[in-house]
Amino acid sequence: MSFQVFGIPVSRGVAIGRAVLVASSRVDVAHYFIGEDQVSAELARALRARDVVALELETLKNELPDDAPHELAALLDVHLMLLHDDALIGATKHWIVERRYNAEWALSAQLEVLARQFDEMEDEYLRERKADLEQVVERVLGALAREQGQATSDAASVAQRDFAGEDPLLLVAADIAPADMMQFKRSIFHGFITDIGGKTSHTAIVARSMDIPAVVGTREASRLIRQDDWVIIDGDAGAVIVDPSPIVLEEYRFRQRQSELERARLARLRHTPAVTLDGQAIELHANIELPADAVAAVEAGATGVGLFRSEFLFMNREGELPSEEEQFVAYRAAVEAMKGMPVTIRTVDVGADKPLDRMSATELRHEHVLNPAMGLRAIRWSLAEPSMFRQQLRAIYRASAFGKVRLLIPMVAHLSEVRQIIEAQKRVQQQLSEAGHAFGRVELGVMIEIPAAAVMLPLLLRHVDFVSIGTNDLIQYTLAIDRADEAVAHLYDPWHPAVLQLLASSIAQARAAGKSVSVCGEMAGDPAFTDLLLAMGLRSFSMHPSQIPSVKQRVLRADAARLGGLIDSVLASDDPQRSAELAFGSQRTAGLVQ
């Protein structure tokens, strides 16, 4: 029976495919694809784990004391029966052979199938056996984890798989951690659906960066959708259609084809300079997460990298931080790929929704903080780990010998932090000079993402070369909205007058001080805000490469001088969004007529 689930649209377009559920579990489960040559080994892993658990249960049963309750032995018999039932391990083979899931993911997927069957049983006693099944599966997952060793660290290398000729797949989950998103980023999913999250949650950002449709904050999708259900993701309306009728399916397939044609048309703008109707040159930089992304940035026509999120070099490493040499090689690769265009590297921004696998002693003391978004994260974490921070700075400085590199510091709120950073820079330069390493001039910039930084910007501008406005966090902290919480996601409002005032004043103050200013948050890549930002005086945008063509099209149709004359009325309006639509819409039409 067809039904719909509604959530928050975060990445536009239409995706049609079969559902792949990443079920939640009390045991941390690795999710990755294996190669064809690894199928036999993975099947063997699953069987070995089953045999290990079977031996454990048999041993427990045999060692029961004589006065043990009869029910305890009977319970162990039930667990052994479930363990050897072909519906569990036998059916798990299907996910390994057909879908190429690793053993842990395959077992979790089969648990999801069986758990729903138990839920639908009329007999209460049989329904209660679901708990036994979950306990058995967790024992097997534990055995797999103990045996796993190095295998999970190879997940990223096998995260890709060629599904040519097979049904497209859509990922459905309660939530997707940033580390998992990086594993899935270059895999075969055509869309994402999550129960929680908002427009600027990490899942949403990565989905947009992959240019695939996504709907988050659905609350119930992972419970209602079953493995292998046919699903449509309407990324424009925020709707998820499960088991669609043939008529609905054909309508959405038509919309898919139209969207592909539009993408092809925009791609032709790749080599067109981003210049407004009145001759203003606009920088369209790229946000990247890994060095390989720089290639896509160049292909999309980016004029530089406005944000290299270096924290993704630190994730999925089983607790080991990257060495200075490894970081240097990564930064140099990105710099060389940009062929002389500037690369802005943000120092590691961990914490909140991007925790590392390992926690230092300092972090362990803060493990149970109530609000991680306001805790030890970003530059606060770096300054609390001076050895790690200097190591990253050395790698960045060494990469500057191969091209133009700029250093960007996240979450600055105090002038004392900037002073500590400048001291760290001086120390690193001295260390590199003594070691005989070449390096170039590295400009220093800070992110404006905390209202305090926006308010004290004139003071910060005396000590830095440039600023970059991170609108995602700026909106979150200005409005006191957790952007990943679907319960308050509707209150996350980029058009809020307070947000616009902070944006406009930050851009104006930086330009008045003769310092370059860019926006690297989600607003920069959303064409709905292009005219607004141009009107505020912004001339440098940074976004995911896939967003550059649509923003460039908006720039080419804009008259920046006329837009600037309209900004005061928009900022003074009770309804800035409506006012901007009326003012900028008419301006754009006038510009095209001329």
- Active-site residue, selected from the candidate residues 31, 79, 190, 202: 202
DSSP assignment letter at 86:
I
Decide if 134 contacts 115 (C-beta within 8 A): yes
Residue given tokens 């039409």 in the structure block:
589
Give the tokens for residue 546. 């896939």
- Residue partners of 92: CB distance under 8 A and separation at least 6: 46, 103, 106, 107, 109, 110
Decide if 290 contacts 329 (C-beta within 8 A): no
Tell me how crowded residue 86 is: count the other CB atoms within 10 A of its CB: 9
Closest by CA position to 294, among listed 308, 315, 274, 311: 308
- 36 phi and psi, to 5 degrees? -60, -35
DSSP class per residue in 496-553: -HHHHHHHHHHHHHHHHTT-EEEE-SGGGG-GGGHHHHHHTT--EEEE-GGGHHHHHH
Residue given tokens 């700075």 in the structure block:
393
Residue given tokens 């409506």 in the structure block:
578
- 184 phi and psi, to 5 degrees? -80, -15
Angle, helices 39-62 vs 70-84, to 10°: value is 170
CA–CA separation, 201 and 195 (whole Å):
12
Closest by CA position to 559, among listed 577, 542, 584, 524: 584
- Active-site residue, selected from the candidate residues 31, 285, 520, 544: 520
CA–CA separation, 517 and 536 (whole Å):
11
- Catalytic, 520? Answer yes
Q: Which SS3 state, helix, strand or coil, does residue 418 take?
A: helix
CA–CA separation, 124 and 40 (whole Å):
39
Across-strand partners of 517?
A: 467
- 383 phi and psi, to 5 degrees? -70, -25
b/e map of 134-155 (b: 16 or more CB within 10 Å)? bebbbbbbebbbeebeebbeeb
Residue type, 70: H
- The residues that are catalytic are 202, 520
